[in-house]
Amino acid sequence: MSTLIFCLKDGLAGLARSRLSAAITISTISISLFLIGVFYVLSTNFVDLIAEFRKKVMVEVYLFEDVSNDAIYNLHATLRQLEEVDSVRFISKADALDLFRKTYEDKYEDVLESNPLPASFQIFLQQKYMNPESAKKFESKMYKHSAVEDVLYRKGVIARLDRYSVSINIALIVSSIGLGLLSLILVANNIKLTLYAKRRIVETMELVGATRLIIKGPFFLQAMIEGGLGGFIASFFLFSALKIAQLMIGTQTIIVEHTMHGGLVLLGILYGTLGCAIAFQGKPIYRNLA
C-alpha cells in the first residue's frame, strides 16, 4: 500500500514538474479520442442509416400466369419457413391491378383492356442476408420452384449499401489507429522527457537498491493519469457536442451508447500505459529500467 501511495505521489509530482509537456500530451490525447468518438458516432449512424435502407430493399417473386392455388399456397408456406425471410406478402392479380390503378389513377382503362399483371410475392430478407452473395443464393433458390417465373430486386442498391458499410468500417479503423499512434508517441516522448529530468534521482534510487516497481511505477501512473484526463476531457466535449447536435437536428437522429463515454476514459488510460511502456523499450537509460 505504501508503494502505491509513493508511486501516486511521485507520479503527480512528475505531472507538476512537466506541466507544459503534460498539458500538450493531455490535449493531444483528448483531441485524438474526441475525433475517434466523432468518427464512431458518425459511422454508427451511417451504419444504422444503411440498415434502414436495407430494410426497404424488396425481393419480388413473380409467378406464372397459370399457377394453381395449391402451388401458391405451398410456395407461401415454404417462404414463411425460410430463415432468410423476414416478412412476406402475397400480391394477387387483382391486388396488382389495384396498385396499377392507384399509380395511373383514371388512365388505367386507356392502357389496359384486361389484367395481364401476374401474381407475386413481396419479400423482405433478414438484415444478415441482405448482401449481394446471400441475395444471389436466395434468388437461385426461388428459381428452383416450378411456380416462379421471375425474381427481381435491386442488385445495384444492395451492392452499393454493402460497399458503403465496408468503407465506413475501414475508415473508422484507419482513423482510430492513426490517432491512437499519435497519442502513444506523444505520451512516450513526455515520459522520456520526465525520465531525463529525473535522471539524477533515478541513479540515486538505483544505487540504494530501489526496485523496478518503485522506479517505473510513478512514470506509469503519470502516463495513466494523463491518458485518463485526456479521455475524460474528450468524453465531456463529445457529450456536449452530441447534446448540441441533438437539439439542433433532433433527438432521434444521433445514436450512441452511453457506455462509450466511459470507454473513452479507459481508452485514454490504455494509451497512457502503452505509451509509457514504449518509452521504456529499447536500450535502457538506467540498468534497473530494462
For the stretch 227-273, pLDDT in tens is: 888 889 988 888 888 877 777 766 555 555 555 667 888 888 888 88
Q: Is the pLDDT of residue 283 over 60?
A: no
For the stretch 61-94, pLDDT in tens is: 888 888 888 888 888 888 888 888 888 888 888 7
Question: 123: domain CATH number?
Answer: 3.30.70.3040
Q: Is the pLDDT of residue 203 over 70?
A: no
State residue 112's pLDDT score: 57
Q: In total, how many domains does the chain have?
A: 2
The domain of 45 spans: 2-52+161-289
Torsion of CA 136, 138, 141, 145, to 10 degrees: -120
Give which of 255, 249, 282, 289 is closest to 43, Cα–Cα: 255
State residue 170's pLDDT score: 85
d(CA 52, CA 238): 25
> Which of 253 and 277 is assigned the larger pLDDT?
277
Q: What Å distances lie between residue 162 and 41, 95, 124, 126, CA to CA?
A: 19, 33, 16, 14
State residue 289's pLDDT score: 47
Claim to verify: residue 168 and residue 35 sit in the same structural domain: yes
State residue 245's pLDDT score: 75
Q: Is the pLDDT of residue 10 over 70?
A: no
Banded model confidence at residue 285, pLDDT cuts 50, 70, 90: very low
Residue finishing a domain among 120, 153, 186:
153
Claim to verify: residue 280 and residue 227 sit in the same structural domain: yes
The alpha carbon of 181 is separated from its chain's Cα centroid by a whole number of angstroms, namely 19
Rounded to two decimals, what is the model's pTM? Answer: 0.64
Cell numbers 500505459 label which residue?
273
Claim to verify: residue 48 and residue 179 sit in the same structural domain: yes
> Which of 54 and 149 is assigned the larger pLDDT?
149
Residue finishing a domain among 153, 170, 191:
153
State residue 284's pLDDT score: 47
Claim to verify: residue 120 and residue 147 sit in the same structural domain: yes
Banded model confidence at residue 277, pLDDT cuts 50, 70, 90: confident
How confident is the model over 270-286, as a mean pLDDT?
A: 69
Banded model confidence at residue 115, pLDDT cuts 50, 70, 90: low
Q: 85-91 and 59-63 as β-strands: parallel, antiparallel, unpaired?
A: unpaired
State residue 147's pLDDT score: 85
The alpha carbon of 265 is separated from its chain's Cα centroid by a whole number of angstroms, namely 18
Cell numbers 416462379 label which residue?
148
Claim to verify: residue 149 and residue 205 sit in the same structural domain: no
Claim to verify: residue 138 and residue 264 sit in the same structural domain: no
Residue finishing a domain among 112, 131, 153:
153
State residue 287's pLDDT score: 47
Banded model confidence at residue 110, pLDDT cuts 50, 70, 90: low
Claim to verify: residue 165 and residue 46 sit in the same structural domain: yes
Claim to verify: residue 170 and residue 284 sit in the same structural domain: yes
CA-based angle 240:242:244, to the nearest 5? 70
Claim to verify: residue 171 and residue 285 sit in the same structural domain: yes
Claim to verify: residue 77 and residue 109 sit in the same structural domain: yes
238, with CB counted inside 10 A (0-12, 13-18, 19+), is: buried
Torsion of CA 130, 131, 134, 138, to 10 degrees: 50
Task: Note whether 62 and 92 are within 8 A (CB).
Answer: no
Claim to verify: residue 78 and residue 13 sit in the same structural domain: no
Banded model confidence at residue 96, pLDDT cuts 50, 70, 90: confident
Task: Note whether 56 and 145 are within 8 A (CB).
Answer: no
Claim to verify: residue 112 and residue 202 sit in the same structural domain: no
